[in-house]
Amino acid sequence: MIHASNENPVRDNPRLAGLTGWDADWAGLRVVVAGIGVSGFAAADTLIELGARVVVVDGTDSATTRGKADTLRIVGAADVLLGEDAFRAVPDVEGARPDLVVTSPGFAPSHPLPATAAAEGIQIWGDVELAWRVRERPGKKTAEWVCITGTNGKTTTVGMTEAMLRAAGLTAAAVGNVGTPILDALREPVEYDVLAVELSSFQLHWTHSMSPLASVVLNLAEDHVDWHGGYENYAADKSRIYEHTRAACVYNAQQPETVRMVEEADVEEGCRAVGFTLDTPDVGMLGVVEDLLVDRAFHEDRRRSALELASIADTGPIPTRHGVANALAAAALARAAGAPPEAVRDGLRAYEPGDHRIQAVATTHGVMWINDSKATNPHAADASLSAFDSVVWIAGGLSKGVSYDRLVARHAARLRTVVLLGTDNASLLEALARHAPDVPVLHPAQDAAADDAAADAAESAATAAAAEASAGDVVMAEAVRLAHGAAQRGDTVLMAPAAASMDQFRSYAHRGDAFIKEVADLVERLT
């Protein structure tokens, strides 16, 4: 199997190989932790508790990072270095070179700190690698891991999996890239049976020894090519999730890349390949028969019949093809962990989708408004656009170096109007010109609106919300106004940007919240 290059020649340090449990010899280990965000803080806090000597570095010197630094110093960190200068070299730990660097997921291999560590032969782990190595703790049950990655659908699938496992009577939690660091879950007093672990390609890049019970790559499309240095490297890092899987490698039978990943993976003896498909499943797969989700992989009589698990209607308030695919993948993981068939149905019915993923916001004058701010790449937007027939599409943002030709060509016939957000839309505009030349494209007056809003907020300070208004909030208000003017009865106004949000918003959640607020204001004015 070809992997992105994160296997660096490292200094001979046999001690690291022996660090495979909470009670291993961590005391005095010299570690540099890169980043003091959610995962970095959890890694540093854990290492300090284990007795390691830790230096934490972070490029941001703010009230938030200083507060976290103070907390870590109190509990025993060797030092915390903040500011841009902290990233110019790998620091010493108590006067000696570190044994290990534990990096937060956002640090690309090309970043100066991990690049310098690699050049020196210092081994680099991510927080997931550290969590895997400390998961076994004396006197406490060791939870199984079922691991989820993919370009899109990770958070939905990990939530569905958690709900199915809980419906089966298992103590389970959704952790990892979904928000709760795995290390925090491991240190809780709760004895988990299973952890449903969402993993990004960034996290997988820095993971070396994980051996989950079951794993899945939901789908694969061009994304984060700037971080990985190309699509092949991105795909190779995603494929790491299958390495050393013990019970079931779950794959998307309708995507050849994931099939090939499983075929090439170095798994543990006895591991099965389990496919999921939106068509009628073959033996060894989960799939769809009429309006039912069925199992021909874990069913004892799978060669002659399919076992009913749930209905398509159980997959969400707005059933979509990708929602059904996510549910099938989650069902395969849950079944691999021992969940009975009825737990799949009950879990899906109990699952509450998070905000910003095909979230129905309002219906007014025959127009439905949908927030899919989490659609941060073309593959995710493709899933959203496929669910609706006539769309006023609010799109745009930071493109991350991807192409929009395939997306626009596929959905040109359903686009009534496109309203652009964002500051990096050259690629999207080119695709629209090539494949949807007759679709109107509207541009909110970004700069003027933002300047006016900032001036008004500074002068009046009428409310805290006005004072904190961002350029993105103002542009979103204009985008919603333009979309309302373009929409006709029977249309869907879909905010599925197909791009990242950080050019105008703090996060995809901020972008989605801004959309929800502006739609609510519009509905109030119209009623």
Binding-site residue ranges for ATP: 150-156
Q: Packing angle between helix 321-336 and helix 154-167, nearest 10 degrees?
A: 50
**Contact predicate 430/396, CB 8 Å:** no
The closest alpha carbon to 362, from 270, 487, 446, 478, belongs to 487
SS3 sequence of 134-191: HCCCCCCCCCEEEEEECCCCHHHHHHHHHHHHHHCCCCEEEEECCCCCHHHHHHCCCC
Rounded CA-CA distance 494/483 in Å is 9
Q: What are phi and psi of 473, to 5 degrees?
A: -60, -40
Rounded CA-CA distance 433/68 in Å is 48
Rounded CA-CA distance 258/215 in Å is 12
**Contact predicate 396/421, CB 8 Å:** yes
Rounded CA-CA distance 370/353 in Å is 14
HSE toward the beta carbon, residue 401, CA cutoff 13 A: 10
Edge to edge, the sheet with strand 441-442 lists 359-364, 367-371, 492-495, 391-395, 415-420, 441-442
Q: What are phi and psi of 431, to 5 degrees?
A: -65, -40
The closest alpha carbon to 215, from 347, 128, 333, 344, belongs to 333
User: Which residues, 6 or more positions from 499, have their beta carbon under 8 angstroms from its beta carbon?
Assistant: 376, 377, 395, 396, 397, 398, 399, 400, 422, 424, 425, 428
**Contact predicate 336/295, CB 8 Å:** no
Biggest CA–CA distance in the chain, Å, is 74
Q: What is the sign of the dihedral through the CA atoms of 480, 482, 485 and 490?
A: negative
Rounded CA-CA distance 85/273 in Å is 48
Residue in the structure block whose two tokens are 């359903």: 414
Which segments are annotated as binding site? Answer: 150-156
Strands 367-371 and 359-364: antiparallel
Apex 390 CA angle, 384 and 395, nearest 5: 50
Rounded CA-CA distance 507/351 in Å is 24
The closest alpha carbon to 218, from 266, 257, 168, belongs to 257
